[in-house]
Structure 1
Amino acid sequence: MIALRSALAPLVLLAVAGCASGAPSPGPQAPPPPRGHVPVPPTQPPPRPVAGFRAPQIMNEPGLAGIIREDGTSLVRKFGEARLDVAEGDMRKLQFAGSACVLDIFLYPLAEGREPVATWVEARRASDGAAVDRAACARALQRR
């Protein structure tokens, strides 16, 4: 009898283990959304516009005195027709180019409602885009 119990014990354990599964039973589920229903994501209020005027940073670098604070008309007289003339909001970018270098001049109004003037200058070599001396590039591109 003991031998029979010893032989049946592993079988009983296997049978009990088969009945107890590790997966949880599924609980109540939400009903599917009605046909044609598209869920709408929560909305956020639009960002508030920045109030007021922000004065631009003005470059103060030797050799750029004839460029900084000049308006677009004055710069075109000095360098000729711009290769690019891009306006975005109250900002304007004029780009002048020659065989040696490319000069980007950024114009911003110094006060709200005023005409943009040159406040920043960047210069790079035309061949590879490496930064070059701004004043030297401006001198190379000036009309004689």
Structure 2
Amino acid sequence: MTRAVIFGTALLLAGCGEAAPRPAVLPAPVARPIPTNGLERVMGQSAAELTRTFGTPDADVREGNARKLQFKGPICVLDTYLYPSKSGGESTVTYLDTRQPDGSPIDRASCVAALARRGGGK
């Protein structure tokens, strides 16, 4: 009988503890549009339009239906990513990335403006 009392007391005490906390339910991430202010010369442009604006690309990389054109200057490096439209039209820039020649970050619009000032050539 003593064992039953000890066991019953242990069960009662175990029930007095705090319930395990429920894991927090996080909302689904919301896709935030990337600001394009100052990037009108690049976003939505074709490879031919980019070449007219920035000159001959320093790199032209194709992977599947995607294409990356890279333009370098003394101030920054601009990587433009072109993809075909859903309707199968000409590939245009849908994303871009910028950095200083040493890899440090730089404002995207500032880089585009600096490279455009090259006058379409090096």
Q: TM-score range by the shorter chain?
A: 0.5 to 0.7
Secondary structure of the corresponding residue to residue 66 of structure 1: coil
**Structure number with higher relative contact order (C-alpha < 8 Å, ≥ 6 residues apart):** 2
Q: Give the CA deviation at 1:60.
A: 4.1
Q: Which amino acid in 2 is paired with 1:138?
A: V
2: CA distance between counterparts of 1:88 and 1:113? 17
Q: Which of 67, 70, 75 is the equivalent residue of 2:45?
A: 70
- Structure 1, unmatched stretches of 5+, are 1-57
Using structure 2 for the length normalisation, give the TM-score. 0.66
- Structure 2, unmatched stretches of 5+, are 1-32
Match of residue 31 from structure 1 = none
Matched, 1:95 2:70: yes
Map 1:7-86; keep pairs closer than 5 Å: 59-86=34-61
2: CA distance between counterparts of 1:87 and 1:112? 20
Report % sequence identity: 42
Confirm or deny: 8 A CA contact 1:103 1:124 kept in the other structure: yes
Q: Which amino acid in 1 is paired with 2:50?
A: L
Which 4+ residue blocks in structure 1 deviate beyond 2 angstroms? none
Match of residue 133 from structure 1 = 107
Q: Give the CA deviation at 1:113.
A: 2.4
